[in-house]
């Protein structure tokens, strides 16, 4: 998503004209890119004009990245640049959106979707008609979320992701099932937790199969970290369950270590280890693929104390 800087030919990489030659035309025969660059930079007015053109081009590109793909749909950068630069656990993806997903976004986003802009505190009681609310971070294509919403209509699910096709797919699945207890939030879950949720407003948190960031230099990008749990604890009601699941063994070990060490959470497993998969968590397609490859899936259920 970043622009690659222009790398002009270094000065001196071409033969300089002899001292008795003086260019008389707008361009020398056989001139190179470096010659043209030297000509432009020798004129302050031309330099200023080139800088202004580059700035205008970058601004147009920035505006395009921020515009929603569909009118009235999820914003490309809902929080904008007023939030700090920091390491994130996700990478926004602008994959192909099917006709059905687009139709669901255009029709249902105004009713069931919201952008995480960091500008207001959500009234979850109003948003979910008084239902207890569970936050789900990262729902992929939304099949498991839609099934849990249909199986438990008495619980509201605030589902957060940045994947536009998945957002459209979840809205369509919920609509097809007649589920009205799902709201889709677009953007950074950290901003949502830190700035848009009232204290003790959530009845649970679900983080299923987050990106394991397997390379050691990327471990800092993993979502389940002590700092993340510091944000989660205040917005959970006492007794609320944090439910994580992963098929990446080293990440499961880190999750268990970090959750066990945090003073605001207590393991519900009697032996202090992993928990059996609860009946309410569906077997996802992604999980099935992992099991076929011999992966072991670990569930962790910790209560907020």
Q: Is 211 a catalytic residue?
A: yes
Nearest to 114 by CA among 9, 186, 52, 162: 186
Set 211, 230, 247, 271: catalytic member = 211
Catalytic residues: 211
């Amino acid at each position: 998503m970043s622009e690659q800087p222009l790398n002009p030919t270094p000065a001196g990489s071409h033969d300089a004209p002899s001292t008795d030659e003086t260019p008389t035309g707008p361009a020398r025969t056989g001139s190179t890119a470096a010659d043209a660059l030297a000509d432009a930079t020798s004129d302050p007015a031309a330099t200023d004009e080139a800088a202004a053109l580059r700035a205008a081009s970058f601004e147009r590109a920035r505006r395009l990245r921020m515009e929603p793909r569909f009118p009235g749909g999820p914003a490309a950068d809902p929080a904008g640049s007023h939030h700090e630069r920091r390491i994130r656990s996700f990478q926004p993806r602008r994959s192909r959106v099917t006709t059905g997903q687009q139709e669901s976004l255009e029709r249902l986003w105004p009713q069931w979707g919201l952008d995480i802009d960091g500008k207001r505190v959500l009234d979850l009681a109003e948003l979910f008609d008084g239902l207890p609310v569970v936050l789900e971070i990262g729902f992929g294509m939304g099949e498991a979320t839609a099934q849990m919403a249909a199986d438990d209509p008495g619980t509201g699910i605030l589902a957060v992701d940045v994947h536009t096709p998945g957002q459209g797919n979840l809205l369509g699945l919920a609509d097809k099932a007649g589920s009205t207890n799902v709201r889709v939030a677009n953007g950074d879950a950290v901003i949502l937790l830190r700035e848009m949720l009232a204290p003790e407003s959530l009845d649970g948190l679900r983080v299923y199969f987050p990106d394991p960031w397997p390379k050691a230099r990327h471990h800092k990008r993993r979502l389940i970290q002590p700092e993340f749990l510091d944000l989660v604890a205040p917005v959970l009601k006492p007794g609320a369950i944090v439910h994580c699941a992963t098929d990446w063994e080293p990440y499961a070990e880190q999750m268990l270590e970090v959750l066990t060490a945090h003073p605001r959470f207590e393991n519900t497993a009697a032996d202090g280890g992993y928990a059996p998969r609860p009946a309410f968590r569906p077997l996802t397609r992604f999980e099935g693929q992992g099991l076929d490859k011999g992966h072991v899936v670990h569930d962790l259920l910790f209560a907020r104390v």
